[in-house]
Structures are given as C-alpha cells and as structure tokens.
Amino acid sequence: MTTMDRLEKHTILLRGDSPQDVKTAGEILRRGGLVAIPTETVYGLAANALDGAAVKAIYQAKGRPSDNPLIVHICDLSQLPPLVRQLPESAKKLAAAFWPGPLTIILKKSDLVPRETSGGLDTVAVRFPAHPVAQAVIREAGLPLAAPSANLSGKPSPTTFAHVREDLTGRVDALLDGGDCAVGVESTVLTLAEGTPRVLRPGGVTVGQLREVLGEVEVDPAVVHRLEEGAKAASPGMKYKHYAPQANVVILDASPEDYRNYVNQQPEAFALCYDEDGDRLTVPFVSYGSRYDHEKQAHMLFTSLHHLDEIGARTVFARMPQKRGVGLAVYNRLIRAAGFQILRPRKALTVGLVGPTGAGKSTVGKLLQQRGCAVIDCDALTRDPQVYDGDCLKELQAAFGADVAAGGVLDRALLARRAFATPEGRKVLGDITFPRIARRLLELRRQAEDQGALAVVLDAPTLFEAGLDDSCARILAVTAPEEVRLERIRKRDGLSEEAARLRMGAQKPESFYTQRADSVVDTREGRGLEALVAPLLEDWLPGEEERCL
C-alpha cells in the first residue's frame, strides 16, 4: 500500500513519518482543505485558521455548532503576537513553562482572526502542540491552523488513527497517521482575557501547575457543572454534550465496594471501571486505568469509550474519577459523556481520613464531627470489645496459646509478641480478627447513616494497607510541613527530636497520601481550617445533578 491511498474520492491517507506526505498535508491546508493531524493530546481536524471559509468546512465536516470556538495551533512563538491584540506578561510566563505542550491560552483576538475561528467571540484560543508531526505540518503549511478534535461532534475524541478513519473518511481531504496520542485528553484551556486567570477546560496541565507559575488561578464552574442556560461558551467543550459513546452513560458516585455491588445487580449493564474492579464484576466491563493513576485514566478514557461502542454497550455505569490533578480533566470529559447523569447508591458517602503522624487528622476529624459527620476511629475499633467476642478469643487461643486470653481476658501485649514474631503469625491474626473488625465497621457505618450523618469518616492510619480504601468514596489527606509535624509530635508525646524523627521516618511519606487523595487539607498554623473544611462538605453532599437511591 502506498503512503497516499484513496479511501473514497474525497479522502486520502497520509503517513506522519513520510516527509513527502507531511508536505502534501501542508499543500492541502494552504489551498483551504481539511486534514486530520496527530497531536500529543488527541487527533485534530486542521484548516487554515485565517480563512473563514476553510474554518466553516471544519464545522460542516464535524457537524459542529458554529458558536463553539476553535483552538488555533502554532509551531513557533513568533506566530502568536499577530493573532492577539496584546501579549501580557502572564502569557509569556505560561508559554515559557508549558509550550510546546497541552496548554491553550485565550487572549483578546486581533482582526487577523476571523469570527468563524473564534466562534463569534472577541477572543482567540492558541496552543503550541508538542507533537513533532503537528509542528511539521504547521511549518509546511506556513499558517496557524484551527484544529478541534477530529471526530464527529459529540462523539468521543479520537486518540488513535483508527478512530479518525472511522469518523471522517469521506468528509475531509486527508487523514495523517501519527500513531497513538500520548496524553489522551484535550489540552487545558486557560483564559487571560478578563481579570483573574481562569481554567475553562482542564487537561494535561493541572490547576496546581498553573498556580505555581501565575499564583491565583480560578476554575470556572462549568468545568464540573452544566453551562448556565443562555451562557456563551468561551472555550471548546463547555456548551454541548461531548465525548459521548452511543450507550447511555451514568456515573456512580460511590466507593469501589458500593460501585461493584450496585453494578453487579444490573444484569443488562456494562461497567466502565478501574483496573482493580474487573475481577469482582459479574457484568461485561471496560477499564480505563487504575484508581490512583490519573495520567493513565486520561490516556485510556476515550479509547475505552470507543471500545464500549465496539462491544455494543447500551447502558454503562462508570466509576467517578477524582476531581484533582489530571483527574479533574478525566472527570470533566466523563461527566459530559454522561450528560451530567450521576447516581449515588448511598446518600452518606464514606470518606477515608489519612495523613502522616502529627499532620492534624484529629483536629480535622473534630471539625468534621461538628459539621454533622460521623467519625469512626479505626485504631480504637481494633480494640473494640465487640470484636473480641468469645468465639474470637477461642480462635486466638487455638492459634497462639491459651494464655493469650486466660480467664477470658485478652493479653494484648502477649498476643502481639507471638503474632508479630513471624509473617505467618501476622497472617493468622489478620484472618481471625479482620473479618470481625470489618463487620463491626459496617455496623457503625450503617448506624451513622441511619442517624443522618452527612458523611461517615474513617480515621484510619493504615487505611490503604488494610484495604479500607475499598469502602471509601473519597480520600481526604491531612498534611503539614515537616517541622510543624515534628514540634507537634514532641509536644504531644514528650519525645526528643531524635525519637520524633525516627517515628516520622518509620511512616509512609506525605506524598503517599496526597497522591491518592481527592482533597488535601494543610493544617499549618493560620490556615483557617473551618474555611478549608466547608468546600469538602459541599463536595461530599449530593450536587444538583446527582440522584440518590
């Protein structure tokens, strides 16, 4: 097969690794044609951004509403100033930090940019892609290129060449094969056109990274909610139902355990789940990454949505991503694929409260309790008399000696010495006690829900090691600077600095908790903890789009 195969009379296939094919793509674009090109985020459908008629052809090929603005792609910083009225210092800082890369910057447009490209707005969205083939095509064309995702409007964005061929064959002049896309979700869109910098669409550059460069950065409410009725979309991906497979997608706001229990009771359903869920589901499933690996989720999401179409899914229940870091971009795409349909199997979510010693978990737990949450001390639960009933004591005596519970009274120190002496002993202890602890925990959770708790918070230092995160719909990590934690531990426990540091060093690093968390609260002095706790409760309570069972 040659590098330029004709699929139909309108569309030719080109290869990104062929300099001649890249040159051909540039020629087509200069003539006002349409070419699907690879980028590091998703494939884009490119046209001359300065030619209104060529841009109109993009809308027609995609079936895209013309009031949805397009992103202009450049391959050199010198191409930016002619497109905008002025170039603020903040834009230069962002370009230095993140270009080439998955960040789109919105600025006031110059007269050079036609209304067709800006969606009728007085602003223009500009990006410098990192993909070498995209850069080569822009250079060959000698023009900035308008390029939304190369799919039919409303469908999942294409991250492979096969996706592009399926949607656009016969609709455009050429398709340029550049392999699979590395990032997997579209770029972050940040507006600098008015007041405080504001994220309009999350992507591969996170809100935290932007704040490191600019300081204050807001997140537009439309990132996680529907655009208000009558409001104009300032960015691609804000206004219409996007990224949707043919199936009806419903997001479940639930713990892994509750998610699986609910989905397994829906015999006609398919699951869009995490890697960890698959072997415990009884319905057909497609996974889109690991629970705590947001980058993999972003890379896999659109491919997984396409796969659901391929296997004929009609009703899909999806795991809800974390709304933090790159996870916010995954949530933004998935909530639109679901048409904002969210279901809660439980009204009161279970939240895991974690963090290193001295971080202030107890302080945060008390604040949450004052706000109507039930807080369960999981350390205390391991010593609950209802766990160590008569049958439990008999099993412990059989395994570790009658004297560990002489007279029906548990000698915890003796039990610990014998059980922890060998790996086998630890396992036997866990096999005996953990099922009972889990049952008692479930009883306490149900009691809290019946009593109307806003959320059930598990204060569990070893939440992940014990597998209790499987019961949690949210993870809240509490942190504080190392020196603050050191002083707290010394004051609380009367330890020397050396002893306190040894205790801190024996625990998981702070990053272990924060990388797995939905939210992070820093308890250093003067942080205004009550103000930090308020938005947590807002997230834990059912939102406008959510339906509780």
pLDDT(368) > 90: yes
pLDDT band for position 55 (50/70/90)?
A: very high
260-278 pLDDT, tens digit per residue, is 999 999 989 999 999 999 9
Fold agreement (248-344, 349-548):
yes
Three-state secondary structure call for residue 319:
strand
pLDDT(16) > 60: yes
Angle (CA) 383 447 263, round 5°: 105
CA distance 264 to 530: 39
60-77 pLDDT, tens digit per residue, is 999 877 778 999 999 999
pLDDT(296) > 90: yes
| Domain 349-548 bears CATH identifier 3.40.50.300 | yes
207-226 pLDDT, tens digit per residue, is 999 999 999 999 999 999 88
- 77, amino acid identity: L
Query: pLDDT > 90: what percent of the chain?
Result: 82
* Segment 215-239 mean pLDDT: 81
The rounded radius of gyration (Å) of the Cα atoms in the chain is 27
pLDDT(306) > 50: yes
428-442 pLDDT, tens digit per residue, is 998 999 889 889 999
CA distance 459 to 464: 12
CA distance 413 to 411: 6
> Mean pLDDT score of the chain, rounded to an integer?
93
Q: Assess contact for 484 and 525: CB atoms under 8 A.
A: yes
81-119 pLDDT, tens digit per residue, is 999 999 999 999 999 999 999 999 999 999 999 999 999
pLDDT band for position 9 (50/70/90)?
A: very low
Annotated binding-site members for ATP? 358-363
Phi then psi for residue 337, to 5 deg, are -60, -30
Q: Would you list the domain boundaries of the chain?
A: 12-200, 248-344, 349-548
CA distance 356 to 507: 7
pLDDT(291) > 80: yes
195-208 pLDDT, tens digit per residue, is 999 999 999 999 99
Beta carbons within 8 Å of 114's beta carbon, 6+ residues apart:
50, 51, 52, 55
pLDDT(6) > 60: no
DSSP string computed for 431-451: HHHHHHHHHHHHHHHHHHHHT
Distances in Å between the Cα of 255 and the Cα atoms of 31, 87, 399, 475, 518 are: 54, 46, 34, 10, 12
Three-state secondary structure call for residue 25:
helix
First-to-final CA distance of the chain? 56
Query: DSSP E strands: which ranges in 233-368?
Result: 248-252, 270-273, 285-287, 315-319, 342-344, 349-354
Bridge partners of residue 105, in order along the sequence: 126, 190
In three state form, how does the secondary structure of 366-399 look?
Answer: HHHHHCCCEEEEHHHHCCCCCCCCHHHHHHHHHH
154-172 pLDDT, tens digit per residue, is 889 999 999 999 999 999 9
Give 508's DSSP letter.
Answer: P
CATH of 12-200, one of 3.20.20.70, 3.90.870.10, 3.40.50.920, 3.40.710.10: 3.90.870.10
Q: Assess contact for 66 and 109: CB atoms under 8 A.
A: no
Q: Assess contact for 149 and 44: CB atoms under 8 A.
A: yes
pLDDT(453) > 60: yes
pLDDT(1) > 50: no
CA distance 200 to 194: 12
CATH topology assigned to domain 248-344:
Rossmann fold (3.40.50)
Q: Assess contact for 514 and 520: CB atoms under 8 A.
A: yes
Q: What confidence score (pLDDT) does residue 126 get?
A: 99
Q: Assess contact for 495 and 463: CB atoms under 8 A.
A: no
Annotated binding-site members? 358-363
